[in-house]
Amino acid sequence: MKFSRCVYLTIAILFAKTSVAFGQDAPAISGPMVGHTTESSAIIWMYAPKASKLEIDFSEATEANPKATMIFDSVVNPAGDLSGAPYKVTLRDLKPLTSYKYQVKVDGRADPAHCGSLQTAPPVDKGSKFRLAVTSCMKFGQPQKSWEWLLGEKPNLHVTLGDTQYSDTTNPTIQWKHHLRYRAVPEFSAVLKSIPTYAMWDDHDYGPNNSDGTATGKENSLVGWNQFWGNPASGTAATPGAFFKFSWSDVEFFILDGRYHRSPDNAPDDDQKRMLGDAQFAWLIDGLKISKAKFKVIASGSTLSDSKNDGWRIYTYARQRLFDAIGDNKISGVVYMSGDIHRSRVWTHPESDRVGYPLIEVISSGVANSKTLSFATVDFDTTADDPTVQVRIVHGDGETHADKTWKLSDLTPDK
């Protein structure tokens, strides 16, 4: 059995124009998308008509023939009431830091648009050099050039921090139509099919603008969200939510859900006001305390200070509780990442004395919905005696607008 020729023509088709008229039927097929990837596995996501048979042929990029064929699982009880459904499969027994190519077949048909490639992760807890791309806020009908710049940066993984579509509802059918329309954008599709992507929602893809834990129908949003992305987990057995953690090399990522348990923005800013909810906060701090990672990334759509009406700035007790927990437990190497505000920057928070060292915030917002069309790249080098984190902000014209590097020793509290 041989691979379809399309595997070798991927670059040529990546930017082929696809037109999807919204308001008509949603696309019948969407994907592939590479989700959570480890040193030995990778989740592949597709959307196709219900009751389709989906298979995937894959092999190391250098091999002429498929190493194996696997069958996708159809997602049970699709949350969206559409003619199609999401499908997922986990490729297993992969080698670390190895490039693979794949071809998805829908009912036996190997469409050139449904092939892609991926590179597996380095071993967990081992030092490595790798590049993370961070994005948020992407909208259909806006310039999409930034995705081409992002792909050109060759990130090893991609974390997107919300407003991945702007349906402003908790109705999964409408949410999915928006997701499907945006995933047909060729520049975005090219990223999803080759860069392992992890996603957290913000307000517009969770519910209405600036929505919170009181949003009616949030349970439906959560089911639909998890069926439409390839994240490693969602919440815990005891606590619902979209939050999850994963490791890449010896960097651990805590991707926070800043919506599901959030107190309303207009609640009094006192010790009763919550950004994460107590259970998610405890999960975060417990995870930070036991983490052996050199750097610990905490990420959420909400900025620490920039947004005057929808971020930690109006949750000052909750923010101080977070900072104090990091400081009191002497947790080193924390870097905060956020989105939401339709511009990007990197800075250190002035309340860093609570943390015990400069708390970096990487804000990446507006990759395809802003004047700057910007995103962030974050290069980790944990092979050095004193590991480093380098943050760059790239605008939609391809220009680098910030470039800052910190050493782990800079982000370590005094003994």
Binding site for Fe ion (CB under 5 A): 137, 163
**Of 170, 191, 143, 180, which Cα lies nearest the Cα of 21?**
180
Omega within 30 of 0 (cis) for the link into 186: no
Q: Shortest approach of Fe ion to residue 369 CB, angstroms?
A: 6
Give whichever of 132 and 137 is closer to Fe ion, judged by the CB atom.
137
Q: Shortest approach of Fe ion to residue 207 CB, angstroms?
A: 13
Task: Kindly give the pairing relationship between strand 359-363 and strand 334-338.
Answer: parallel
Q: Shortest approach of Fe ion to residue 92 CB, angstroms?
A: 36
What are the start-end ranges of the H helices in 291-333?
316-328
Whole-number Å distance between alpha carbons of 151 and 371:
20
Tokens linked to 118: 């991926």
Give whichever of 165 and 231 is closer to Fe ion, judged by the CB atom.
165
Residues 6+ apart with CB under 8 A from 159: 132, 133, 134, 135, 197, 198, 199, 200, 253, 255, 299, 337
Distances (CA, A) of 212 to 202, 203, 205: 10, 8, 12
Give whichever of 142 and 412 is closer to Fe ion, judged by the CB atom.
142
Q: Strand, coil or helix: what is 377?
A: strand
Give whichever of 163 and 361 is closer to Fe ion, judged by the CB atom.
163
Q: Shortest approach of Fe ion to residue 209 CB, angstroms?
A: 9
Give whichever of 89 and 137 is closer to Fe ion, judged by the CB atom.
137
Q: Shortest approach of Fe ion to residue 59 CB, angstroms?
A: 39
The packing angle between helices 172-183 and 218-228, to 10°, is 30
Give whichever of 187 and 310 is closer to Fe ion, judged by the CB atom.
310
Give whichever of 47 and 140 is closer to Fe ion, judged by the CB atom.
140
Q: Shortest approach of Fe ion to residue 47 CB, angstroms?
A: 23
Q: Give the single-character DSSP code of 6.
A: G
Q: Shortest approach of Fe ion to residue 342 CB, angstroms?
A: 6
Q: Shortest approach of Fe ion to residue 198 CB, angstroms?
A: 18
Q: Shortest approach of Fe ion to residue 154 CB, angstroms?
A: 26
Amino acid at 60: E
- For residues 86-122, one letter each, b for 16 or more C-beta atoms within 10 angstroms of the residue's C-beta and e for the rest, the string is bbbbbbeebeeeeebbbbbbbeeebebbbbbbbbbbb
Give whichever of 166 and 347 is closer to Fe ion, judged by the CB atom.
166
Give whichever of 163 and 252 is closer to Fe ion, judged by the CB atom.
163
CB count within 10 Å of CB 338 equals: 29
**Of 161, 388, 158, which Cα lies nearest the Cα of 295?**
388
Measured at the CA of 38, the angle between CA 35 and CA 44, to 5 degrees, comes to 30
Whole-number Å distance between alpha carbons of 316 and 319:
5
Q: Strand, coil or helix: what is 32?
A: strand
Task: Kindly give the pairing relationship between strand 388-394 and strand 400-407.
Answer: antiparallel
